[in-house]
């Protein structure tokens, strides 16, 4: 239990540090610079907190209700503090495809996100080296190494990442239909369910920057295999969701309506 409270304290400290950075940036930096610092601070927060929670899950046997509650609460905190930040390179690519951002701007944004992910990895190791808990000290003895994060084959893990990204994108595209006060909690519940469902197979990252910080340093698989699972999988999941919901289903729906109208017209003519 002591390890749990130390991890909660670390997560709280990271959130407060990043929130202070966001507020200072909003006050003192111009518009474009503020957006990039917002992405950097938010991605750093996401990766640091996930690093700590992953270590906690691997080191301490928490009961299911505690684990899910912790995941849900931390996700609500993230969604409530990120403002307009996406913390996800796939979202930057989506904006380019929609014509809402330039390729150069998206490339810079992705570089900022990946840089924050690497910084979060180093920051987490620095915190663990303080030996604040038995869990941290034990992890330090192993040189902060993490081992094979996959609970299935490479193809199975990639399929899980694709499915999780598809589901998260579908939720994000339809969350506006709910009352505003419910949106954060419903989306957090979706994320928690996805983490619970796919976590044992791939870790359920469905975010290339987050995976780059948390999973890529782990042994067990090659860099290219991790790219296939954690970069290609989520990107295809997001793209396929947009294609299905915004192109294929509307097209089929319009085609069905046209066929129905045609049938009605033909019927009227024959009467």
Q: Which CATH architecture has domain 2-259?
A: Up-down Bundle (1.20)
Start-to-end CA span in the chain (Å): 78
Cα 132 to Cα 118: distance, rounded to the nearest angstrom = 22
Cα 60 to Cα 49: distance, rounded to the nearest angstrom = 16
Q: Using one digit for the tens of pLDDT, what is the confidence trace for 138-170?
A: 999 888 888 888 998 999 999 999 999 999 999
* Other CB atoms within 10 A of residue 213 CB: 28
Cα 45 to Cα 49: distance, rounded to the nearest angstrom = 6
Alpha carbon 93 to its chain's center: 15
Q: Using one digit for the tens of pLDDT, what is the confidence trace for 19-41?
A: 999 998 888 877 678 889 999 99
Cα 89 to Cα 261: distance, rounded to the nearest angstrom = 43
Cα 187 to Cα 123: distance, rounded to the nearest angstrom = 28
Cα 78 to Cα 202: distance, rounded to the nearest angstrom = 22
When pLDDT is averaged across residues 188-211 and rounded to a whole number, the result is 94
For the cut 70, the answer to whether the pLDDT of residue 135 exceeds it is yes
Max CA distance (Å), the chain:
86
Higher pLDDT residue, 188 or 101? Answer: 188
Please state which of the ranges 89-98, 182-191, 261-270 shows the lowest mean pLDDT: 261-270
When pLDDT is averaged across residues 133-140 and rounded to a whole number, the result is 92
Question: Which region holds residue 153: left if phi is over 0, alpha if psi is between -120 and 50, else beta?
Answer: beta
pLDDT of residue 104: 87
For the cut 80, the answer to whether the pLDDT of residue 114 exceeds it is yes
pTM of the model: 0.90
When pLDDT is averaged across residues 96-107 and rounded to a whole number, the result is 84
Sign of CA dihedral 42, 45, 51, 55: negative
For the cut 70, the answer to whether the pLDDT of residue 268 exceeds it is no
Cα 248 to Cα 245: distance, rounded to the nearest angstrom = 6
Cα 200 to Cα 220: distance, rounded to the nearest angstrom = 15
Domain ranges of the chain: 2-259
pLDDT of residue 262: 59
Cα 81 to Cα 183: distance, rounded to the nearest angstrom = 14
For the cut 70, the answer to whether the pLDDT of residue 257 exceeds it is no
pLDDT of residue 97: 81
When pLDDT is averaged across residues 129-141 and rounded to a whole number, the result is 92
């Amino acid at each position: 239990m002591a390890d749990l409270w130390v991890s909660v304290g670390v997560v709280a400290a990271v959130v407060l540090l990043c929130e202070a950075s966001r507020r200072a940036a909003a006050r003192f930096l111009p518009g474009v610079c503020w957006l990039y610092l917002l992405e950097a601070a938010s991605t750093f927060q996401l990766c640091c907190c996930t690093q700590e929670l992953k270590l906690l899950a691997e080191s301490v046997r928490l009961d299911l209700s505690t684990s899910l509650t912790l995941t849900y609460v931390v996700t609500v905190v993230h969604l409530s503090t990120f403002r307009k930040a996406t913390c996800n390179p796939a979202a930057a690519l989506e904006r380019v495809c929609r014509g809402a951002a330039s390729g150069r701007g998206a490339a810079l944004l992705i570089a900022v996100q990946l840089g924050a992910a690497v910084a979060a990895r180093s920051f987490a190791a620095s915190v663990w080296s303080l030996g604040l808990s038995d869990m941290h000290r034990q992890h330090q003895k192993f040189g902060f190494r993490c081992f094979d994060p996959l609970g299935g084959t490479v193809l199975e893990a990639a399929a899980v990442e694709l499915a999780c990204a598809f589901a998260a994108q579908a939720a994000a595209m339809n969350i506006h239909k709910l009352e505003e006060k419910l949106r954060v909690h419903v989306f957090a519940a979706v994320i928690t369910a996805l983490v619970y469902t796919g976590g044992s197979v791939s870790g359920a990252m469905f975010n290339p920057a987050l995976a780059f910080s948390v999973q890529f340093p782990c042994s067990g698989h090659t860099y290219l295999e991790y790219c296939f699972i954690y970069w290609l999988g989520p990107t295809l999941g997001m793209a396929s969701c947009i294609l299905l919901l915004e192109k294929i289903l509307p097209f089929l729906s319009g085609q069905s309506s046209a066929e129905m109208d045609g049938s009605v017209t033909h019927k009227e003519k024959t009467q």
